Every structure is written in structure tokens, then in C-alpha cells.
Structure 1
Amino acid sequence: MNNKNYDVIIAGCGAAGLYAALNLSRDLNVLVLSKRELTLCNSSLAQGGIAGVYDNPKDSPEYHKHDTFVAGGFENDPESTQVLVDEAYIDIEKLIELGADFDKCPDGSYHRTLEGGHGMNRIFHHADTTGLEIETTLLRNVQQLDNVEILENAVMCNAKKTETGFSILVLTNDNEYTTYNCRYAIFATGGIGRVYEYTTNSAIATGDGITIAHELGAEIKNLSYIQFHPTGFNNKHTRETFLISESVRGEGAYLKNCNGERFMQNYDDRLELAPRDVVSHAIMAEAKKTGSDKFYLDITHKDPEFVRNRFPMINEKLLEAGYDMTKDMIPIFPCHHYLMGGINVDTYARTNIDRLYACGECSHTGVHGNNRLASNSLLEALVFSRRAAADINEKINSDSGDLETYDFKIDNEAPHIPQGIRTEIRDIMQRAYFVIPDKEALPPDLEEVTKLKNFLCDGNFKIDRDYVEARSLTTVAYIVLKDAIEKLKSKEKMEENK
């Protein structure tokens, strides 16, 4: 097997991974692993924008922090959240310097939109494709760096701790295995969306980084804190659900039930601009009340030209599906969207494993509490990946000596995994843990997931993309359900002691 050495290996080519690469010292030899094509990641799919206080005397980090805490049920980590809101201006300014094209007002100032849970207009955006604009901007700049190599279609299969850092087993598109050794590793592998039947996440979101970190002994925290976005386009033809951005409601769209009636006034004073978990729960309650799962987002009362210009990508995708958002109500329903839990880290993205860092959606910084405030995700990815890079830059100068390598064993004669495991996992998660958990289903479903996890992890199967993703999905499903049961028991015990 081939062996290659680097100072730092970054697993993940989204906003967190690329921004970490940009902030690492230019004299470090850096490898970025991209699981599929370079822009296939959750960062690219982010529509709404990036929240942050920058050049706005009417707003303040404390206001931003307050809104973040309210949305997160006041379970947010105070120190990490303070870092997030205080340092937002650094990374928004850096994105502008790097060439990110945020929308401007006629007077040349930056346009800031409003989204659910925000008390101020503080969302910088590029129409309704902000994530793609940020991702392509970062990628363009990273590709100009002589010290950074990006490996496309590279699946991180396994990682082992060595005395000098890590050995990472990678499977490339030509079915060749290579062991990459490094002194420091940053996992920026994204979320776990593909553990659900319907998700806004990209095809790569199978929880690989979380699974491998877990196997390394990293602490995984609050993995059951999963956000279900209330306005996924209710198509149901593909598992990747097209998101109708929060910013559509921010610009005045109404939520309506099967009778074409607004209903949020019955659930929250903030109406359509309530945080995502509140709106998703309201939709489920209204579905039970009306006996229907037909819900709509209606922005037909707004100027058609404004709607088309403000949401060109959403408008185009809806037209392709047979809906004109300037004339038709948009069918929507909650679906999996984001993970608030993950690999537990401190304010420099350090895990409890020496030399291992985690950034972006796969990490648990604690800034989101139990529910993420809209447009805080891209900000979190940038702030903490920059801080991770700064920490590595400071520490790596004291390292010396040759890198050790781990000898991964590959059985080329091993069979492929049986078909149907991923489908079974998705069915279980959709049934047992969607918006409102099914308390009765959780224990027996955890038992089924545990059997599947043990079957894959203990068996001898060909280590290919199918195996890696199935192993990851069963592992994260196991951790999610286990965490959910523990939290429900803890809540019940607290209520008994009142």
C-alpha cells in the first residue's frame, strides 16, 4: 500500500475544511480530502446566508448572542457562543476580501435580510445561493495555494492514532488504497442527513467523520439534537429534499394549512418568524388537528418581480417542478436539515484526542444549543476552523522527526455488504425520531440498530464506499437513539422530582 506524509490532513472540502486550509501557515504541507466532486457538500446548499454583526451600529454581538440563546433553548455553551458573535466580523470581512459577492442596496451598503429567530436584519446573502457563493470563493482561493493539495473522490475509510499524529486510510476513485500520515488532522466532514428518508443534505452527508472520531475515542455530544427544517419542498420523489429557505418567510411569506389558512398565530407570537423547531412542531400539531399533511408557503401577495429577483434559484427549481411561487402556494413539510450535536470540541475546535480537531456541522461547539438559529451554521464553520488553524500554526513548530504509519489490513477477497441496510436504517430513524420522538418505538428500534451496527463493524466486508457509508449510518443512528433515550429518561426523572 502507498504511504504519503503531510503536516495536516483536512477531511472535508466544505466551508469549514477550505477555510481551515486558507488559514494554515503557508509553510505547512496540507492535504484536503474531498469525498466526491469538490462542491458537493452541505455548505454549497446553504441558501439563506451568513449571520453576523459587521459594520452595523444598530446591531450588536450581544443582540446576536441573545437571539442565538433563545433559539437554542438556552442550552448554548456561553463561551463558544460569545466567541461566535464577537468574531463574526473577522470572517465576514475576510470573505469580502476573498471576493465573496454579497448583495448590496442601491446606496452601495450591504443588504442584510431577516430570518426566523433574528431580532435584527443581520444576514449577509448572495440572492438565495449564499452557500455556493462562499464555497466557490473559498475553493478558488485554496486552489491558488502551492502548499495545499486537494484530492477529489477520496473516501476516508479509517483513521488510527500514532505517536506522531494519525494514519488515515483513503480509497480513491480508481479503487486504490493509500495511507496518508499527518501530524494534525481536522475533521470537517459535514452532517448525517442521509440517515433519514428525506433530508436537505447532500449525498455525502453520512456521518463518516463522526463515526471515525467515535472509533478513535473522541467524545460525541448531543447527537440527538437534530434540526428538522419546517419548509422542505414536499416533493417526496427524491431523498434529497429541496429546501425553501428561511429567508422566504423572512421576506413575508405565510404558512398555511390544508384549508389555505394561516395557523402560526395559534402556536407562537412570532408567527412565521418563530425558530425552526417551534415552526416544525406547530406543523406537526396542526397536521394532527386537521388530519392532513398538506401545508403551504405562500408569498403570492408580494411583488412578483421582487420575488423572482430575491429568490432566483428557488424560483427556477420550483418552476421546473411545476410551481410558480409568484402565483402558486408552495407545498412544504418538515424534513431533516441540520445536526447541532457532534464531535465535542473546545473554542479552538480541539477534541479530547490529541492533535485531532473538528469543525463545521460534524462538530459540537455548543453554540447552537438544542436548535440552531438560522444562518449561524456558515458562521460557525468559519470562526472555529480559523481558530483551529491558528492553534495548529502555533503548535506544529515544536514537532520534529519522521512520521509513523499504521499498517491497515485490506482483504481484497472480502464480500460486499448485503443490500438494504441503509434503507432499513432510514426507515427506523424516520419512524422513531422525526420532529416529535416516538417514545415507545425508541428502545426496540435502538436494539435493531445495534444489531445492524455490530453486524457491520464485527464482520469481514470489502472496505468500499458502500461499506463506509453503511457503517457510518448505523453508527450515528445508534448514537442518536441512545442519546435520545438517555435524554428522555433524564427529563422524566427531573419532572418526577419537581
Structure 2
Amino acid sequence: MSVFKTDLLILGSGVAGLSIAIKTATSLPEKSILVATKADESESNTKYAQGGIAAVWDKLDSFEDHIKDTMVAGDYLSDQNVVKMVVEEAPNCMKQLITWGTDFDQNKEGEIDLGKEGGHSANRILHFKDITGFEVEKTLLEQVSKLPNIKLLPYHFAIDLITDHHLHKKHSQDSISCYGAYILNQKTNKIDTYLASSVVLATGGIGQVYAATTNPVIATGDGIAMAYRAKAKITDMEFVQFHPTALYQPGESPSFLISEAVRGFGAFLRNKKGERFMLAIDKRAELAPRDIVSRAINSELIFTGDPHVYLDCTHLDMPEFIKHFPNIYEKCKSLGINPESQWIPVIPAAHYLMGGIEVDTNGYSSIGNLFACGECSRTGLHGANRLASNSLLEALVFGNKIAQEIIQNRAHMIFNSKLLIPEWDEEGTMVPKEKVLISHNRKTIQNIMTDLVAIVRSNERLEKALDHLNYLFQDTEKAYEKSKLSPQICELRNLNAVAYLIVHQSMARKENKGAFFSLDNVEVKE
């Protein structure tokens, strides 16, 4: 076991974590920055973002319209001051990415080619083909490689935050501080102590709590679970966005995402009979916000008994479609689906969490020294339902805010060496004889959440889910206490915490808003 000290510890290497590292390292070259990530440094939800980043770029567009679209999509639960701040800072964030080397697509006139997605009243999506997140992640990693005071630690799994709870000193619920994290080096299987004067959670989403998700296998809500165990404020967990159009491939996880931009390009949703059912649901049809489209598809599947609906691209300009969506086109072709002549089978899948670790406009959590950024945070931007392509934008804007806060107000801070931080104690633990029980419990959680806590919920379903999760929690904690730790047992523990939070906060919500819909909150009209 070793102890490492750094000025800034960032957990997560997506757009949130890397943008904070770059901005801080550039302004404070004398400060050391560690970025720990549990997989390869490029593996994150960022990498899989297809559509793009929303920003007012066209002269015919306006901040007011982007603000209004965000508020409408969020079912007016968004914090308007936060929305205004993010929207107004968006163009500068895009210029920053372009300066760093992001290669956004251009039109024939050599200007940025702006796409349109569901819920947007204007073309304002900057994109790179259908792999925008991959391009942004690549750009940020290239910048990181040029900064000697940033150290990337791939295959380092954060187990728990180090807080006053570990110091056994008196503290009130409102005066908890964070001093670092216990991190498992997956190559040595040792749990080391990492100490820092500032800690950032940028650990991404929770999609793997569901059986069908567009999120990569690493999206197990680790940061939210760690913050919850440390007694941070966690809010709005009931708001889980389901993307309407994941490619229908039973048993595949993650599900392959058919970007919202495809519908923005003009694709139609059809049922088995060929009917455009969205026309009867919303005047925006296929370009209604995601919660509306997902519920409409869910209703269609319940009514018809069909396993999926279809996305029809056959009427589109196919050379332009292939140019804009080369990876989607190739994926379909590889499965024997020709978008030129065949409809693409699609189904909703868990995609994005609007809630998470509650933070203020500078990214501070309710725990001292601890920031949160990106999907693991709850900033107030998304309200009850995220507007398409506002996610990478949120991470960039709040990444800048956190970096500015550290540069301006925390650069003088050094770790208090008088604090007696205990090393991780694994005495009495052993390597599990078999891991099938861990994988079984993980699948059980995913099935509980998919069957009982998905697009449509009810009090009865939530109570049943909670009963099941309580048993799994007890079973997991027994295994955790006697096992030498592995990423698998830690992810299971984190998924259990995330599932509990979603169910518990769903039970408390008595009004259907955005992505949250309960049958018990529907007024029966006589």
C-alpha cells in the first residue's frame, strides 16, 4: 500500500475530467494533477456521444431560443439561471474546442455544418460525422499529452472517497470534507491512498443499472455511489432519460445508438403497419423531446405486442446520409439491414441521467473540497429531461467553472499533512472462489430496474423493486466485507446504491414531469 499526494485529483477521463485538467494545468504549471480512470484513458461516455454539441452559432439563432428549448425539454424544472449561463457560454466553449483541434464538419461554403435534433427550434448542433464524442475525446487527450503536470492513471478504480468519516473526528452533516480517495491499481491489485487539496468526480453515468442501455459497460454510477456513501446531497435521480432509438439487438449491451440527428435529418418512426404514429402524439412528430418519443414507442409496443418499432430512412438523400452517418450506415449493413431499402428496427434504451451529485454554479458539491462535473453531477441544467446535445456542453461549461474556481481561489491550498489518514484495511478478506454470484446479482439488478423502474413506473412496481434491491444490498454487503476487492464487486455495490436512489426518489415524486412517468400520478377523467 502506498500514499500519493497531488494538488488536484480527478476521477474520470471523459470530457468533464479532461477539460478541467487541461484548463487547470495550463494556468497552474507548478501544480500536479492526477487523472485516474478505471479503464483505458479514452473509455468514457464521451467517446460514444454521436450527435454533437448544442450551441448558438448561426446568426439567425438566438440565446433566447436555446434557453427556451432547454426549459421546455426540461419540463420547466431546469434552473433558468443555470440554463442562461450554460447557453451563453456555449459558443466560447466551441471556439475553445476548435482551437484545441476539434474538427467539426463543414458545409460546402466552408462554414460549420449545423445539425438539428429533437426539441431544438433551430439548427445548432456542431458535430463530426456521427462520432462527435470520439473526436472530442481524441482532441482532449492530445492536449493532455502536451502538459507535463498532468498524469493519467488508466486502470485505476476509485473505491471510496476519503472524508471525515475515515478520520473518526467529530463533524456535523454540514461540515464534511473530502481529502482524496482510496484507489485500486488493477495491475498490482493494491489499494493505494491518494490525497489532494481538491477532488473532482467526473465519473460519468449510470446506464448499466438497466439491461438495455446505450452506455458503455463502465457506466456503473461509481462517482454518485461514492458521494452518496460520503453523505453528499444526491437529487433528481428519478429522472432517467431513455433514448428512443437504440438499434434492436436483444442481449447486446451496450445497445448501438441510432443518433437523434438521424431523425433531425428527416427519418420517420413507423410501426409494423407502416404508420407514422408520432404524428398523432405531438405536433413536432419525430422531433419531439426524447421523453415524449420514448413513451410513445413504449405505448406502441405495449399496444401491439411487437418487440420494436422502425426508423425509416429510405426516402432520404442516401449519399448525404452516408456522408453524415457513416458508422450508423456500416453498422446496419453489417447486420444485413440496408437503410436505402429497409427500415431499421429500434427500441428505447437507458441513455442519460439528469440527476446526480448536487452542485452549485462553480461545481462545488455539498462536501468540502469536492467538485462534481458531467453526467454524475446535477447542475440544474437539464431539469426533468435533457435537451439533445446539451450534455457535452454542460461538461465543458462546468469544467471551465471548476477550473476557474481552482485557479482563482484554491491555487494556494496545500494538503494538511497533520491529518492522520488511515490506509485501506483488507485484513480478514479473501479472493472469492467464484465470481458468478457477482455477475448474477448484477444481471438481477438490471432486470429489476428494466422491468419495474423504466419508462413507465407505478407505486406497486417501485415497492416490489425496493424489496428485491434490499435483499440484494444485504447479499452484496456480506460479499463486499469478506472479499478482496475487485472492480466487479465494487461496481455491483455501486449499481445497487444507484438503483436504490432511483427507486427511493421515484417514490417521493408525486407529479409526472419530463422523463419521470408514474401510472399512479395520472388523473383519471370521468
- Please indicate the TM-score interval, normalised by the length of the shorter structure: over 0.9
Shift of 1:386: 1.1
**Structure 1 residues 304-360: Cα deviation after superposition (integer angstroms, max 9, x where no partner):** 211111100111111112112122110001111110000000111110101100000
Alpha-carbon separation, structure 1, partners of 2:17 and 2:100: 16
Shift of 1:461: 2.6
Could you say what secondary structure the match of 1:488 adopts?
coil
Instruction: Report the more deviating stretch, 249-258 or 299-308.
Output: 299-308
Alpha-carbon separation, structure 1, partners of 2:416 and 2:20: 24
Instruction: Report the more deviating stretch, 226-235 or 323-332.
Output: 323-332
Shift of 1:397: 3.2
Letter in 1 for 2:135: E
Alpha-carbon separation, structure 2, partners of 1:203 and 1:412: 30
Letter in 2 for 1:442: L
**Structure 1 residues 66-124: Cα deviation after superposition (integer angstroms, max 9, x where no partner):** 00011110110112111110110121010000000000111111110000000000000
Indicate which of 96, 99, 109 corresponds to 1:97.
99
Q: TM-score, normalised by structure 1?
A: 0.96
Aligned to 1:222: 236
Letter in 2 for 1:9: L
Alpha-carbon separation, structure 1, partners of 2:430 and 2:384: 41
Letter in 2 for 1:407: E
> CA RMSD for the aligned pairs?
1.9
Alpha-carbon separation, structure 2, partners of 1:434 and 1:413: 36
Indicate which of 448, 461, 467 corresponds to 1:428.
448
Alpha-carbon separation, structure 1, partners of 2:501 and 2:298: 25
**Structure 1 residues 254-285: Cα deviation after superposition (integer angstroms, max 9, x where no partner):** 00001122111111010010010000111112
Indicate which of 87, 91, 107 corresponds to 2:109.
107
Alpha-carbon separation, structure 2, partners of 1:466 and 1:412: 19
Shift of 1:289: 2.8
Aligned to 2:356: 342
For structure 2, the residue ranges without an aligned partner over 5 or more in a row are 168-176, 513-517
Could you say what secondary structure the match of 1:137 adopts?
helix
Percent of matched pairs sharing the same residue: 39
For structure 1, the residue ranges without an aligned partner over 5 or more in a row are none
**Alpha-carbon contact 1:79-1:347 (below 8 Å) kept:** no
Indicate which of 251, 260, 269 corresponds to 2:265.
251
Shift of 1:407: 2.2
Shift of 1:495: 7.2
Shift of 1:291: 3.0
Alpha-carbon separation, structure 2, partners of 1:493 and 1:461: 43
Aligned to 1:133: 135
Indicate which of 469, 476, 490 corresponds to 1:456.
476
Indicate which of 376, 382, 386 corresponds to 1:372.
386
User: Structure 1 residue 19 and structure 2 residue 19: aligned?
Assistant: yes
Letter in 1 for 2:52: G
Alignment of 1:97-496 (within 5 A): 97-161=99-163, 165-174=178-187, 175-400=189-414, 402-403=416-417, 404=419, 405-411=421-427, 413-416=429-432, 418-419=437-438, 420-457=440-477, 459-488=481-510
Could you say what secondary structure the match of 1:398 adopts?
coil
**Alpha-carbon contact 1:213-1:343 (below 8 Å) kept:** yes
Shift of 1:380: 0.4
User: Structure 1 residue 30 and structure 2 residue 44: aligned?
Assistant: no
Shift of 1:165: 4.6
Shift of 1:445: 1.4
Letter in 1 for 2:374: G
Shift of 1:294: 2.8
Instruction: Report the more deviating stretch, 430-439 or 60-69.
Output: 430-439
> When the two structures are aligned, how many residues end up with a matched partner?
495
**Alpha-carbon contact 1:47-1:129 (below 8 Å) kept:** yes
Could you say what secondary structure the match of 1:252 adopts?
coil
Letter in 2 for 1:268: D
Shift of 1:176: 2.3
Letter in 2 for 1:22: I
**Alpha-carbon contact 1:249-1:273 (below 8 Å) kept:** yes
Q: TM-score, normalised by structure 2?
A: 0.91
Alpha-carbon separation, structure 1, partners of 2:511 and 2:31: 48
Letter in 2 for 1:58: L
Aligned to 2:80: 78
Alpha-carbon separation, structure 1, partners of 2:156 and 2:455: 33
